[in-house]
Amino acid sequence: GAVVSQHPSWVICKSGTSVKIECRSLDFQATTMFWYRQFPKQSLMLMATSNEGSKATYEQGVEKDKFLINHASLTLSTLTVTSAHPEDSSFYICSARVRGSNQPQHFGDGTRLSIL
């Protein structure tokens, strides 16, 4: 149980294009989803917290107009990297959790984004 599917697993695109990444909880309803960015040999950096039906809460230093998050249902959240540039190249990972104290996060397998 508690499977999170993230798609696509990797994407290469030209500078200036927008890229959408989907995160789905397959067998549970996720009241909260998180989006992380991870650089090589570094920890997970939280970008934003997303609750179903409400606006995402972005961490300090993360541009909300650059990284658009939509959490339209209890099983789907999307991250759109708008007008992507080479410095946006990274490993993006989503996670989902159910309501309740101390619940663990269930992670997708990440999206490797390369901007040329």
Partner 1 sequence: SQKIEQNSEALNIQEGKTATLTCNYTNYSPAYLQWYRQDPGRGPVFLLLIRENEKEKRKERLKVTFDTTLKQSLFHITASQPADSATYLCALGLAAGYQKVTFGTGTKLQVIP
Interface residues with partner 1 (CB under 8 A)? Answer: 4, 6, 32, 34, 42-44, 46, 49, 91, 93, 95, 97, 100-102, 104-110, 112
* Amino acid, res. 15: S
Distance CA 69, CA 10 (A): 19
Q: How far is CA 63 from CA 35, 37, 71, 75, in A?
A: 13, 13, 17, 24
Q: Is 26 helix (H, G, I), strand (E, B) or coil?
A: coil
Task: Report the residue number, 63 or 109, with the smaller CB distance to partner 1.
Answer: 109
Task: Report the residue number, 15 or 42, with the smaller CB distance to partner 1.
Answer: 42
Distance CA 56, CA 68 (A): 9
CB of 100 to partner 1, least distance (A): 8
Task: Report the residue number, 15 or 26, with the smaller CB distance to partner 1.
Answer: 26
User: CA end-to-end span of the chain, whole Å?
Assistant: 37
Place of tokens 């650089």: 39
CB of 108 to partner 1, least distance (A): 5
CB of 26 to partner 1, least distance (A): 14
CB of 16 to partner 1, least distance (A): 27
Task: Report the residue number, 4 or 81, with the smaller CB distance to partner 1.
Answer: 4
